[in-house]
Amino acid sequence: MRRTLYIFAIALISCSVSEKKELTEIIDKSDKILIDYSVDNHKLHLAKFLTKNETANFKSSILINNITIEGTKKLDPKNCIPSFPRKILYRITLFNDNQPIGDLFVEKPGHNEVTFVIPNLQITFNTGFDLNQYLDTFLIGKNMNCSETFPPIVRLENLSLYEFIDVLKIKNPCPNGVYQIMIIRNAPDNWIKEKDIPYLISLLDSNEITYCITQACSSKLPDDTDYSTLGGQIMNMIDSYRLQRPYPDFLTACTKNDEERKKEIIKWWKN
């Protein structure tokens, strides 16, 4: 019996060490970090890529502290983002060569516990220091909370077509801001109706700058400085109705106005 317990304890230690090594290696190799700060799981106060110096400082702040693995959990491959009961959340996305390699989720108010998510796996760990305070100080010190709230993560079943169009508009641009909206799951059936088309067509010429749209499981993100136009995104909505496709039927879109495409849509509607 003693031997069995001893072997089991060694296995646990080995597993924890392996997870800690994997975690620190992923953090260490990230060359770009994006911070989102959300409220009520759908309103964003900030989305900003850190500079190279800020990224190095952030990584060292985590890595020099003692990381303790608290637990692991297998995730359903269909769920890209875990659910959190609390309403205020930092999401720190790590990139390497412009590809997302993992997310750190920090709840607020919270302790020192951080949830790290990579495909199919969730690791909970303790940083040994107050990451909430670090992030608060960093954001307040940089005075980056300059943008009106907007959803970084959108569930279309919770928004009407007209509400979503309003969400797309950039109300108050933030210096170094990242203008991307992430959509989880397609819109419900009949989300866009025939009676909506005249209103959508009235917006086709709009050059108003809007957010790019990315599906949650997309492996390709827009360029940091890219944006979309309202007319461009409206074309995507009309085409989903016109061609009887789900919305969105793309992984990433920073669509801009297109005269040829507009003519095709108007011709279809007149006929």
Per-residue pLDDT at 137: 65
241 pLDDT tier (thresholds 50, 70, 90)? very high
Q: What is the pLDDT of residues 196-219, one digit of tens each?
A: 999 999 999 999 988 888 887 776
Q: What is the pLDDT of residues 65-92, one digit of tens each?
A: 667 777 777 766 555 555 555 555 777 8
96 pLDDT tier (thresholds 50, 70, 90)? confident
Per-residue pLDDT at 149: 42
- 22 or 264, higher pLDDT: 264
Per-residue pLDDT at 178: 65
Q: Of 3-17, 18-32, 36-50, 128-142, give the lowest mean pLDDT range.
A: 3-17
Burial of 151 per CB tally in 10 Å (0-12, 13-18, 19+): buried
Cβ contacts of 129 within 8 Å, gap of 6 or more:
61, 65, 112
Within 13 Å, how many C-alpha atoms sit on residue 19's CB side? Answer: 23
Candidates 257, 150, 160; CA nearest to 203 is 257
Q: Does the pLDDT value for residue 16 go beyond 60?
A: no
Q: Are 201 and 238 in contact (CB under 8 A)?
A: yes
Per-residue pLDDT at 111: 59
Candidates 94, 135, 144, 142; CA nearest to 118 is 94
Interatomic CA distance for residues 17 and 54, integer angstroms: 28
Per-residue pLDDT at 242: 95
Name, of 31-40, 179-188, 216-225, 238-247, the range with top average pLDDT: 238-247
